Homo-oligomer: A and B are copies of this chain.
Amino acid sequence: MGQSSSQSSKTSDAYATGTTGGRLAEATGLEIAALKSGPLGGEAQIGAMIAEGRLDALIFFIDPLTSMPHDVDVKSFLRLGIHYNTLLATNEATATHLIRSIARQ
């Protein structure tokens, strides 16, 4: 989830990699900009958005029991999310608390 800091900005308010975006859009009615699927560069796009200050928060669920060829891409954006102090949830419990806290602000 990436929220632009200004309502008039032309960039999207929310992003998702691969087919996740379509499913989220269907379930929530939100407009969600599609990034590439993970293996095809979607996570590098996330990394670039973090580095360019274009992501406020990132909820990203990784399968911890499967080897991924794009493992380095995932570790790259996690590293950048740490450096740029991006709100970051990698599992459901953390995401629930993060969303709850943001909603109350």
Q: Output the least CB separation between A37 and chain B (Å).
A: 10
Most B Cβ at <10 Å: residue of A49, A66, A98: A98
Cβ 8 A contact of A100, one of B61, B73, B101? B101
The answer, yes or no, to whether A12 is at the interface (CB within 8 Å) is: no
Task: Assess the A91–B82 pair: CB atoms within 8 A.
Answer: yes
Min CB gap A91→B, angstroms: 5
Contact of A45 among B42, B51, B72, B79 (CB under 8 A): B51
Asked if A30 lies at the interface with its beta carbon under 8 angstroms from chain B, I say no
Check B65–A76 contact: CB distance below 8 A. Answer: no
CA distance A100 to B61 in the complex (A): 22
- Cβ-closest 6 pairs across A and B: A41-B51, A44-B47, A48-B48, A67-B67, A97-B101, A101-B101
Given contacts A44-B48, A44-B80, A68-B69, 4 further A-B contacts (CB under 8 A): A41-B80, A47-B76, A64-B83, A87-B93
